[in-house]
Structure formats: C-alpha cells, structure tokens
Amino acid sequence: MTGGRDGILAGVKVVELAQNAAVPHCGRLLAGLGADVVKVEPPQGDAMRHVSGLAPNESRAFAVINPGKRGITVDLGSPSAGPVVDALFAWADVALVAFKLPDLARYGIDWEHARTINPRLVHLTHSPMGPKGPDADLGGYDPLVQGRSGLGFMMNRAGATAPQPTRPAINDFSTGFTSAFAVMAGLRHRDLTGEGQRVDSSLLGTAISLGTPVLGSFPVDREALDELDADLAALQAAGVDFESRREVYDSRMQPAGGAFLLYFRHYQTADGLISVGGMSQHLWTRFHEATGLPRPTTSDPTEASFVELVGAANELFATRPTAEWLELLRAAGYPASPYHLPHEAVRDPQVMANDFVVDLEHPTIGPYRTTGMPVQFEKAPASISGPSPGLGEHTLEVMAEIGFDQDEVRSLVEGGTIRSAPVD
C-alpha cells in the first residue's frame, strides 16, 4: 500500500479517473507530496499500459507516468458501477476526472452528481479545449493544442512538408503541474470555507499560459502583423518550406531576436553540442570576453554584420570540445551547460544529486529509473514512494476501505464491474 506516507498532503485521499498523461501526471505529483492516489482504470487498463510494452499490461509509458499510486479496475459502463463510483467520491478529498465533457454525466462522474455525494470534494474537471466555447465537448491530444495555441509554430521541429510535433508532450505534462496547482488551491479554499468545488484545467489553457512571452496583442503591431500575414501567405503559396517561413516570422516578431541567435541557444562543438544562455548586458559582455568575438554593432538579426558575427560564432564553437567550452565560459561567469541526449540526462551527476531521477523496483518489469519530484520542502518529504501499480493490484484492498463487504465485492467481480487481477 502506497497511501499513509509522510508529506505535505499526507492524509489527503485522491481518486483518479483519467488515462494517458496530463491528469495522471497531476496524480503523480500529488502522490509525491504524500497523497493517497487511487487510480481507476477500465478492465483493459489505461491506454498507456499498451505503449512501449515490456510485459502483459505493463509498459515503459505507464511505469514512468504512474509511480506511487494504488490501482483498481472498474468498468464504468457497467450498471453496477454507480455505487462504486459514489463510494469513491464519498471516500475522497479530491477527484481527478479527465473524460470528454459529454461523457461525465453518462458515467456519473460529473461535479453536479459528485457534489450530492460529497460537497467537500475538490473535483478537477479536465478537458482538452476548456469547458466553454464551440469546441468544449471535443476530445483532443497534445499535438492539437500545440498547433492551435501558436506554441507549435515557435517550437516544433521542421519536417519535409510540415512541422513535427514537439516531444515530449509538453502541454500534457505541463497540464499535470497546472492541475496540481489548481487542486492545491481548491484544497486551501476547502480548508478555509469547508466547501468543495469544481476546478477546471485544460490542455489549451496550459498551452496559452506557456506562450505568455510570445502570445500578446498590441495596437502598435497591427500594421506590421497585417503585412506579415500577407507575406507568409505568399511564401506558403509559393511552396516555401516551413522553416524558412518561421525564420521570416522570427526576424520580424520575436523580441530580442538577435540575442536568441547569439547568446541564448545551442552551439555545435568539436565533439558534440553545448547550451549557452544569458539575457542581460553584463552577461553578454562576459560572453565576448570568453570567446574573443567582437560586440555586435546592431541587434537587428537581418543586418549583414550581425549575420556575419553569428557565422563566426558557429565556426568558433566548432573548434573546441564541449568540456573546454564549459570550463572557459563558466570561468568567465557565462551560463553554459552540456547538451544531453535523454538517456544521458538521467545519468547526469547534477540530476542524480538532487533526486530529479529515482530508481524503482517493479515486481513484473524489474528495476527502472524515472523522474523524481521536481520540488523539495525543508519541513516535509516529497518523493516517489514506489513503482506503478499492476492492473487491478489494489482493487480488493480499496473496495474494503470504501465500505464494500466481501459478498458485495464477490458479486461485483462476478458481474465484471471490477477486476482484481491482470487480464490478458
């Protein structure tokens, strides 16, 4: 049993009715703060159990997204599922619900019903596109909001004919953070007032918030934007590739565009890559002291002299290995770090020293390493307490906790409403 641990949320009971990544990541974070998170899966399991499989009903994807939780299986479509859901709502302090909005009432997991069972419940209702508007009832995944939010245009990698979605699914996992933030605020409100409430989160809302530095509208930009729209449409009609069109956008619209080309970027070195990043005048002075490159005479990234300086920087960084550049730049006080492949990042001494990764032991798939908690507290632990649950591993245990006797549990198992063992 993973509940009953120490932590800021020790004693807080969470029922998670969600699959895939966004809201399960929220549950992961709450569990890391000490909450008892019971994940409710359909009889066939969360969809992530079948992505990058390692064993029947066990996968890399599920193992890294769902550690530290308990797991039960409930067929929400069964006529006998209603009392189980109601008992879970009555037991819980928090419900994490991520279904298409039209399906909430059908399964009896909507806030309007849940509040009749437990008015103190904090009910996180997650929807891909937000709870209002013409597309509120639509389902959706991370790539849809990458494109819709404008973030994709800024960060997607170029493909042959169209940009490729950014990986990992940045809006999914960022929504885990925003949802956890919302739940904590909801719990604070309940502590102050005794009232539960519905709290909404969405992929699109998260994406728009992530775009804060580049998503804005000012009257002074209207004429320039009209000209840009016309020019980009003409380039697309002419068959100009996506990356070239994005360069045109960046050259006109990206604030401090020259800084991103010279001071705040990745460079190829003699043996790999290095990341550098300074966004102040005094740091830029240190960059030039370390590299010996002259200061630019203009910040316009389209000016020939600036383009020439960036080319010189590219050539210079390619003359030395990464380790030498790290030593040189850090000695000058300019921020620089190694550029890792994902499997290298989980071996980084700095990452390991801060428990940003943890080693877990799974009874079926064996040892594995996954991300730890991104925050720590002086007065209370924040940690991943154990591996992901097996399919239906804790069904019988949880059913007893929420008030079902052995005969009732046996009837539910025989009727197929719940399962307590993995299915093939």
- 398-421 pLDDT, tens per residue? 999 999 999 999 999 999 999 986
The Cα 216–Cα 150 span in angstroms is 11
Strands (E), 142-224: 197-202
Domain pair 13-209+354-419 / 254-351, same fold: no
Rounded to whole angstroms, what are the CA distances from 93 to 124, 139, 186, 213? Answer: 11, 26, 10, 35
Using alpha carbons only, give the angle 89, 90, 95 rounded to the nearest 5 degrees: 30
Quick one: pLDDT at residue 3?
Answer: 42
CB atoms within 10 A of CB 157: 11
Q: What is the pLDDT at residue 422? A: 52
CA distance 417 to 398: 14
What residues does 357 pair with on adjacent strands? 371
Query: What's the pLDDT tens digit per position in 193-244?
Result: 999 999 999 999 999 999 998 888 899 989 999 999 999 999 999 999 898 8
| Total-model pTM | 0.92
Tell me the C-alpha distance between 408 and 366, whole Å.
34
Q: How many CA atoms lie within 13 A of 343 on its CB side?
A: 1
Q: Using N-to-C axis directions, what is the helix angle for 222-237 and 242-253, rounded to 10°? A: 170
- Beta pairing class for 94-98 and 273-277: unpaired
Tell me, which fold does domain 254-351 have in CATH?
A: formyl-coa transferase, domain 3 (3.30.1540)
Q: Where are the domains of the chain?
A: 13-209+354-419, 216-253, 254-351
Distance CA 46, CA 50 (A): 8
In the CATH hierarchy, which fold is given to the domain comprising 13-209+354-419? Rossmann fold (3.40.50)
Alpha carbon distance, N-terminus to C-terminus of the chain = 24
CA separation for the pair 13, 8 (Å, rounded): 12
> CA-CA distance, 424 to 71, in Å (whole number)?
17
DSSP 8-class letter at 120 = T
Give the H or E element holding residue 202: strand 197-202
Low-confidence ranges of the chain (pLDDT < 50): 1-4, 423-424
